[in-house]
Chains A and B, each alone.
Chain A
Amino acid sequence: NAGVMQNPRHLVRRRGQEARLRCSPMKGHSHVYWYRQLPEEGLKFMVYLQKENIIDESGMPKERFSAEFPKEGPSILRIQQVVRGDSAAYFCASSPLLQGGIAEAFFGQGTRLTVV
């Protein structure tokens, strides 16, 4: 049973380019979360998605950032017109659907984005 798969592991983009980060959740998981970790900091929540729905995007910057989790295929975090301040590690986590209660999230290995 494969874990949460993120790709690429490392991504280098020039300022102004677009970055696309992919996340395939664990089998059977229908909830996906994206977190950002700046150097020497903890992880900060960005967005929470279910299939074809954004549930909570309160941590997403208002501009240039978007996320989707289509019916088929991986979840995508897209950053348009990247700037140096976007350089960070981006983590995806997934959890199963629970009827009530709180589900444990399982993390991918992250994508390290470097903007040059």
Chain B
Amino acid sequence: AQTVTQSQPEMSVQEAETVTLSCTYDTSESDYYLFWYKQPPSRQMILVIRQEAYKQQNATENRFSVNFQKAAKSFSLKISDSQLGDAAMYFCALTGTASKLTFGTGTRLQVTL
């Protein structure tokens, strides 16, 4: 069985500052992908960033980057230069060869002026 744990129910960051959201996971598979999804109030699930487990290099997408620690089974998301539009629920997710996604419980990010 796969599990994903997000231990921060809520986080807050000031505009233009940097924030890191934590995620740990467990899987018995050697081939898997990790994702961060953003869910704004519109409920749309928006893919923020993805990481293939076989890649050692951490993925980056503009202001978003991950710290992937495979041995520790940790996959944190760093948001740099935070903007008001970054306020949302953020979900960490894991998929393996079974193709279905296992989600964490989410972290609600608030961005303050």
Q: What residues of chain A have their CB less than 8 Å away from a CB belonging to chain B?
A: 31, 33, 35, 41-45, 48, 55-56, 59, 89, 91, 93, 95, 102-107, 109-110, 112
Interface size class of B (residues with CB under 8 A): 20 to 34
A-B contact count (CB 8 A): 59
> Which residue of A41, A43, A56, A112 is within 8 Å of B98 (Cβ)?
A56
B100 touching A102, Cβ below 8 Å = no
Residues of B close to A43: CB separation below 8 A: 45, 91, 101, 103
Return 15 A-B CB contacts under 8 Å, by A number. A33-B101, A42-B91, A42-B103, A42-B106, A43-B45, A43-B101, A56-B98, A93-B45, A102-B33, A102-B95, A103-B99, A105-B95, A107-B37, A107-B44, A110-B43
Q: Is chain A's binding surface mostly helix, strand, loop or mixed?
A: strand
The verdict on A45 contacting B105 (CB below 8 Å), with A104-B50, A107-B45, A109-B43 known, is no
Given pairs A42-B104, A43-B45, A109-B44, 17 additional interface contacts (CB within 8 A): A31-B99, A35-B101, A41-B105, A43-B91, A43-B101, A43-B103, A45-B100, A48-B98, A48-B100, A55-B99, A56-B100, A91-B45, A102-B33, A103-B99, A104-B33, A106-B47, A110-B44
